[in-house]
Amino acid sequence: MKCQCQHVTELNGVEAQKYAREHLEKIHVDGETWEIEYLCSETNTHLIMDFPQSELQGGGPPRLRRCA
Ligand SMILES: [Zn+2]
């Protein structure tokens, strides 16, 4: 998958999952908030996946954002 880390600011749902799975390296999972930190090894960009609708059954759709 082509690197979009420098251009994308936010991905949601299936798109976020697919991008993380196919392109990013998981480096940390926060056991309390369930935020997942990812690294793009091509650009050394850090991204965070969280679940803003975590009250929904199953945790709701993921959101993937580039770290500032
Ligand atoms: Zn990338």
pLDDT in tens, 8-49: 999 999 999 999 999 999 999 999 988 999 999 999 999 999
Position 23 in a domain: yes
| CB burial of residue 38 (10 Å; 0-12, 13-18, 19+) | buried
- Judge contact between 67 and 24, C-beta under 8 A: no
Position 3 in a domain: no
- The tally of domains found in the chain comes to 1
Position 1 in a domain: no
Q: How far is the CA of 40 from the centre of ligand 1 (A)?
A: 4
Position 38 in a domain: yes
Question: What domain range is 36 assigned to?
Answer: 10-66
Which residues are placed with Cβ below 5 angstroms of ligand 1, an ion?
A: 3, 5, 40, 42
Give residue 59's pLDDT: 82
Tell whether the model's pLDDT for residue 57 goes beyond 90: no
Q: How far is the CA of 62 from the centre of ligand 1 (A)?
A: 18
pTM greater than the 0.75 cutoff: yes
Position 59 in a domain: yes
Give residue 68's pLDDT: 66
Position 2 in a domain: no
Position 32 in a domain: yes
Q: How far is the CA of 54 from the centre of ligand 1 (A)?
A: 26
